[in-house]
């Protein structure tokens, strides 16, 4: 079984924002992926973005450029 790591998890207000995040990440070469919102978090639209914790600044920068609102930022063992 894969060892769990502490990751950055970004939740969104809408699924459309999550989809826009996936596209923006591709456009800006940001590492990470869309995952269902981990069950330890109750907020969000059902989908979230996860990246390495070290990528936090880049993630926020890409979201600002793409006009995507952050709902919440979390650090979760995934």
Partner 1 sequence: MNFMNSKGKLLGLGAICGVIAAALAYFGNPANMAFCIACFIRDTAGALGLHQAEVVQYARPETIGLVIGAFLIAIGTKEYKSTGGSSPMTRFVLGICMMVGALIFLGCPLRMILRMSAGDLNAWVALIGFVLGIVTGVFFLKKGFTLGRAYETQKMSGSVISILALGILILATFTSLLKVSQAGPGSMHAPIILSLIGGLLFGAIAQKSRMCFAGSIRDVVMLKNFDLFFGVLGLFIVMLIYNVVMGKFTIGFDTPGIIAHSDHLWNILGMYIVGFAAVLLGGCPLRQLILAGQGSSDSAITVLGMLIGSAICHNFGLASSGTALNPETQEVVKGAVTANGKVAGIICIVVLFVIAFTNKRKEV
Dig out the tokens for 75 from the structure: 């650090």
Residues contacting 38, CB < 8 A, separation 6+: 9, 48, 74, 76, 78
Could you tell me if 47 and 59 are in contact, meaning their C-beta atoms sit under 8 angstroms apart? no
CB of 41 to partner 1, least distance (A): 9
**What's the closest the beta carbon of residue 26 comes to partner 1, in angstroms?**
13
Shortest CB 13 distance to partner 1, Å:
3
Q: Which residues bind partner 1 (CB under 8 A)?
A: 4, 13-17, 19-20, 34-40, 42-43, 45-47, 66-67, 69, 77
């Amino acid at each position: 079984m894969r060892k769990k790591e502490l990751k950055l998890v970004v939740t969104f207000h809408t699924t459309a924002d999550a989809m826009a995040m996936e596209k923006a990440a591709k456009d800006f070469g940001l590492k990470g992926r869309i995952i269902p919102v981990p069950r330890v978090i109750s907020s969000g639209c059902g989908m979230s973005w996860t990246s390495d914790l070290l990528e936090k600044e880049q993630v926020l920068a890409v979201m600002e450029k793409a006009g995507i609102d952050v709902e919440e930022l979390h650090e979760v063992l995934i």
